[in-house]
Amino acid sequence: MSKIYGLTGGIAAGKSTILDFFKTFGCKVYDADQVARQIVEPGTIGLQRIIEQFGSEVVLEDGTLNRSKLGSIVFGDAKKLQALNKITRPIIKEQILKIINETKKSSDKEISIFEIPLLFEGNYQQYFDGVITVYVEPEVQLYRLMKRNNLTKEVAMNRINSQMSMDEKRSRADFVIDNSGDLTHLADEFDRLIVQL
């Protein structure tokens, strides 16, 4: 019987890096962000509902979603973010649960990892064999986000504060990986974790 674990953590915590570690180790990996992108592709009900809610200005000339425009509308405005989540979350959840169920039915004795940034917010923990949180010190998180996305401190803080706190995610996890250090430290953390799964 296959085991599937949920992987989460705050923005810029290093979830993708950890996912690469799992991939290299031979685990099957899934990414909720990829699912989220698929449900708003041109011609999908997801994109259609976003346009109805936020107007055609959130669509580029080629018919794809203008993510930065939509981001500038919803980040920092709780009501608009809530409206967006009300559209996308049910469609995303349906797709994610389909993948989880198919994985659990598999007779392979492999480990699968599903990265879901908003895992606890979406109440996904109940569907997994365990939840892994990638933790990072708040000042490291802020620095990495500003550097990675070329954001001002204020904009970066808005994005961080729009999510559940790192401490909350850490306290609710079954396993924690601390990614506050360098890659060598992270590799050690990963080695410690993999033997527990």
Global pTM exceeds 0.85: no
Residue tagged 């601390």 (tokens): 178
Q: How confident is the model at residue 1 (pLDDT cuts 50, 70, 90)?
A: low
CATH code, 12: 3.40.50.300
Does residue 105 carry a pLDDT above 90?
no
Full residue range of the structural domain in which residue 69 is found: 3-194
Q: How confident is the model at residue 118 (pLDDT cuts 50, 70, 90)?
A: confident
Q: Please give the span between the terminal C-alpha atoms of the chain, in angstroms, as a whole number.
A: 14
> How far apart, in Å, are the Cα atoms of 109 and each of 88, 131, 132, 174?
32, 18, 19, 21
Choose among 171, 163, 166, 117: nearest CA to 141.
166
Number of domains in the chain: 1
Three-state DSSP state, 116: coil
pLDDT value of position 76: 80
Give exposure, 80-101, as e/b (b: 16+ Cβ within 10 Å): eeebbeebbeebbbeebeebbe
Does residue 46 carry a pLDDT above 70?
yes
What are phi and psi for residue 90, nearest 5 degrees? -60, -35
